[in-house]
Chain A
């Protein structure tokens, strides 16, 4: 195996064993999002529709609305679940020093860990999907659209990871990036269609959102899962473009930030 590939592969394997070290954490990672879905989203929309099958909200009947949210759950699991807390903490506590010394750098380590995390999340999402299908929450599933959706979600995850990497790097300048993380996550949840379908928003807002990457993080991938592949290729192109931009911005920020790094606490 090429030495570089074996560095990445070993890091991925190590990330898996780290995830599996804490069994309760791992279990919570699997069932947490599904519980949130049931207790909040399902019950909320159940009360809004008040059991009336004929009510249509923004083009969605109750079962369709639930289907939409099941898919947001899946997109959330594989696409936008990675968080930057770890990156910030490593900078703030001076742990990044190790990656400045080892011949495998900070970005490589975190990207390899992200890939390892993605594999686990795909597994978790598949299990969740099978369970939801068997309990009847998800009536129609198309194998082709599921595969296309999962492919699309990988690019969502790549973009989200590079965004998270940038937010994590802000720790070079700020001691605490918690507020920025929350702002980004809240904004993304609203503007990507993760909380409610974008059809419920006024048209001027959706017109503006069309020029941002937000709808591609939840709304369009959900649509792909639900059978509408109109935006598959254009969406991929947009996500890849944004991922490149954020990758370059990230490496620029890293170069600037690392000059300020004092390795506090070392």
Chain B
């Protein structure tokens, strides 16, 4: 018997188009646009099919303007799709039923949802009423999140007086107080320092592990994606470019590992050990980057260590970052990959 999979998010042929008008630059352009306007319709999201199971944590990646945020807005009911179907937690989000709103949460790294003129605690109390959270559950959840994120002293400070990292912690707490079934995190670590990024990442990881909620994450930091998600959905120009496990994504460009070595002296450009692995030299020929087939990595690595005066030796930490960069520069690779048998 097949296991029954219950999808938290389901879209079919989802499309969102935006209409805008072309304006020539300068004052004359503005005057002309008063009388005649040429409209352009752009599909921000096109023919998008997606299924996300309950409890999954999925990364939604793509360059700026690819349509990630538009998708998030459609999932949460902020904007209405132009065509196609979308179902989140069993609801059509754009109907904005109150029952639906109680099941979802969204955190936007670039936009504060809490009230700037109020201390965080006032906002939380307001949300407690809006989401009808029983006082005991409210206190328990707040205390728990406070223990992990350590925001106790800040609860009575006005939001506008907080640092970006502090504000993001508050936004996260606010979004989780009502224990949503699905959480949309739109660049939750943007603009944060390394420590704050790591804290937020750990918090999201632990929260997901403990509560088994469905999480959809967008981020330009591949470290977020690598640390949090097993599955990755790539979006390019509003269309799905890739959907699958991260391991598979890492291998889109081939089954090679990038090895970086630094020698105490300049390395011979024609060194026979390196020549077959597309060497790229830097640092006055003392550092070289090699593309080595996965299955040969340990063998070649050992030989290099024996033959060269190596002072530093490392394999790349975030292979998906390289894959993303290459794909953004040359999206055709994906088309080739898809057409391959």
B interface, over-half SS: mixed
In the assembled complex, B125 has its CB within 8 A of some CB on chain A? yes
Min CB–CB distance B132 → chain A (angstroms)? 5
A101 touches B111 (CB 8 A): no
In the assembled complex, A6 has its CB within 8 A of some CB on chain B? yes
Which of A6, A104, A266 interacts with B73 by CB under 8 Å? A266
**Residues in B86-136 with C-beta less than 8 Å from chain A:** 96, 98, 101-102, 104-106, 108, 110-111, 113, 115, 117-118, 122, 125-127, 129-132
**Residues in B122-161 with C-beta less than 8 Å from chain A:** 122, 125-127, 129-132, 158
A266 touches B101 (CB 8 A): no
In the assembled complex, B78 has its CB within 8 A of some CB on chain A? yes
- Contact code string A74-103 (vs B, CB < 8 Å = 1, else 0): 000000000000000000001001101111
Which of B76, B78, B111 interacts with A265 by CB under 8 Å? B111
CA distance A11 to B115 in the complex (A): 12
B69 touches A103 (CB 8 A): no
B79 touches A261 (CB 8 A): yes
A102 touches B132 (CB 8 A): no
Given contacts A100-B77, A266-B110, contact A17 B118 (CB under 8 A): yes
Given contacts A17-B118, A103-B130, contact A259 B80 (CB under 8 A): yes
Which of B69, B110, B113, B125 interacts with A101 by CB under 8 Å? B113
- Please, how many residues of chain B have a CB less than 8 angstroms from a CB on the other chain? 31
Given contacts A103-B131, A266-B78, A266-B111, contact A17 B96 (CB under 8 A): no
CA distance A21 to B158 in the complex (A): 10
In the assembled complex, A7 has its CB within 8 A of some CB on chain B? yes
Residues of B within 8 A of A265 (CB): 111
30 residue pairs A–B, Cβ–Cβ below 8 Å: A7-B129, A10-B126, A14-B118, A14-B126, A18-B117, A18-B118, A97-B73, A97-B78, A97-B111, A97-B113, A100-B77, A101-B76, A101-B77, A101-B78, A101-B101, A101-B104, A101-B105, A101-B106, A102-B101, A102-B130, A102-B131, A103-B98, A103-B102, A105-B96, A261-B78, A261-B79, A263-B73, A263-B79, A265-B111, A266-B110
B residues near A (Cβ < 8 Å) are 18, 69, 73, 76-80, 96, 98, 101-102, 104-106, 108, 110-111, 113, 115, 117-118, 122, 125-127, 129-132, 158
Told that A10-B125, A21-B117, A101-B101 touch, could you supply 18 new A-B pairs with CB distance under 8 A? A7-B129, A7-B130, A10-B126, A10-B129, A11-B126, A11-B129, A21-B158, A100-B76, A100-B77, A100-B96, A101-B77, A101-B106, A103-B98, A103-B102, A103-B131, A262-B18, A262-B79, A266-B73
